[in-house]
Amino acid sequence: MSAGLEIQLIAILVAGACSILGVFLVLKSMAMVSDAITHTILLGIVLAFFIVHDLNSPLLIIGAGIVGVLTVYLVELLNSTRLLKEDSAIGIVFPLLFSMAVILISKYTKNVHLDVDSVLLGELAFAPFNRIEIFGFSVAKSLVSIFIIFIVNFLFITIFFKELKISTFDKALAVTLGMQPVLVHYILMSLVSVTAVTSFGAVGSILVVAFMIGPPITAYLLTNKLKEMIALSLLIGAVASVIGYNMAILFDVSIAGSIALIIGVLFIVVLILSPKSGLISTIKRKRNQKLEFSVKILLIHIANHMNTPQETDECGVDTLEYHLRWEKMFLNKVLKKAMDKKLIYIENRIFKLSDKGKEYLI
């Protein structure tokens, strides 16, 4: 397997492992919590290292997971006091735990290859150089570890899909049905932590956050269905990985940076063009709503003056513009829409309601 293919596979697997969890973070309005977790878990790694004195020990991942859960717990604890909003709570917990890790590293690990850069800043281009033998085949170590994490995350989402779905949208209902939404929530946060620390060495913290939030929030703009959102997140992450890698090779720039850029570009494109909630469709929808509302105002105006002495003046073809005080171009649009829908007609140069128009107002 070529190094280029391994790099792309690693990126795709990281994208899948992160985005499949990120869907629920986005739906729970916890997007920024993921950024906090991806940094505060450094404290768990440092504390675990002090115990085992081995940078390759799996206990480092366990320590990271514990601190990740602690981060979420502290944020929710501060938020529950109603004295702080979630973003403010994150602003307190994130720097506190992260700075503790930085201080411990700078004070007690001067002679060990453990620093902020080595933990948080991975480089995809170097991932194929760290290899292991499996059944006689040499593969990138990151590829194996990320594949395992992806499978674990996928199984978790598959097995607990119903619980995740209900607790995400209606926590009270989940409790009523005898589910354990709090337990499921903290398992999810633990997996976020483990996924983050496993991915750091390969892609770095920035790309982990980009994968965890970018594809899910882009998919959210495209669909209202949870399963489709998960599938689209996986697809968007994979597409961004492949395009970003090839762009990086073409322009000789950072692979992680290129992938993160493509994720951002895809989001912006979807934000503008999405038929569900894109900017263009939103503008069109608001214009149509305004037009529909104006049609109704027009019908009410005509109905109020039908068969009255003022009808000729109030509803006349030549005088309607004056009484409604609308711009002529806009009035013509409203009249055209109303006539196309056969809600009004002209009789003796007076606008009148059709039977359909009368029914429309009922």
Q: What is the tens place of the pLDDT at every residue in 253-309?
A: 888 889 999 999 999 999 999 988 899 999 999 999 999 999 999 999 999 999 899
Least confident of 88-92, 226-230, 341-345, 352-356: 88-92
| Span 8-17, average pLDDT | 96
pLDDT of residue 30: 87
- Return the bridge partners of 354, or none: none
Task: Tell me if 269 sits within 8 A of 263, measured CB to CB.
Answer: no
Enter the DSSP assignment of 346.
Answer: E
Neighbouring C-beta atoms of residue 274, cutoff 10 Å: 18
For domain 3-209, the question of CATH label 1.10.3470.10 is answered with: yes
> Is the pLDDT confidence value at 114 over 80?
no
pLDDT of residue 122: 60
| Span 340-351, average pLDDT | 94
pLDDT of residue 110: 64
Q: Which amino acid is at 149?
A: I
Q: What is the tens place of the pLDDT at every residue in 147-165?
A: 999 999 999 999 999 999 9
| Span 343-350, average pLDDT | 94
Q: What is the tens place of the pLDDT at every residue in 245-268?
A: 999 999 998 888 899 999 999 999
d(CA 193, CA 189): 6
> Is the pLDDT confidence value at 112 over 70?
no
Q: What is the tens place of the pLDDT at every residue in 31-56?
A: 888 888 888 888 988 898 889 888 77
Q: Which of 26 and 200 is assigned the larger pLDDT?
A: 26
Task: Tell me if 106 sits within 8 A of 187, measured CB to CB.
Answer: no
pLDDT of residue 316: 93
pLDDT of residue 200: 80
What percent of the chain is predicted at pLDDT more than 90?
58
> Is the pLDDT confidence value at 115 over 60?
no
- What is the dihedral sign for C-alpha 338, 341, 343, 344? positive
| Span 342-349, average pLDDT | 94
**Mean pLDDT over each residue of the chain, to the nearest integer:** 89
CATH of 280-361, one of 1.10.10.10, 1.10.1060.10, 3.40.718.10, 1.10.1520.10: 1.10.10.10
pLDDT band, residue 74 (cuts 50/70/90): very high
pLDDT of residue 154: 96
Q: What is the tens place of the pLDDT at every residue in 184-205?
A: 999 998 899 889 888 887 887 7
| Span 55-84, average pLDDT | 87
Enter the DSSP assignment of 134.
Answer: E
Task: Tell me if 206 sits within 8 A of 123, measured CB to CB.
Answer: no
> Is the pLDDT confidence value at 118 over 80?
no
CB under 8 Å to 196, separation ≥6 — which residues?
Answer: 18, 34, 37, 38, 41, 64, 68, 205, 208, 212
Domain ranges of the chain: 3-209, 280-361
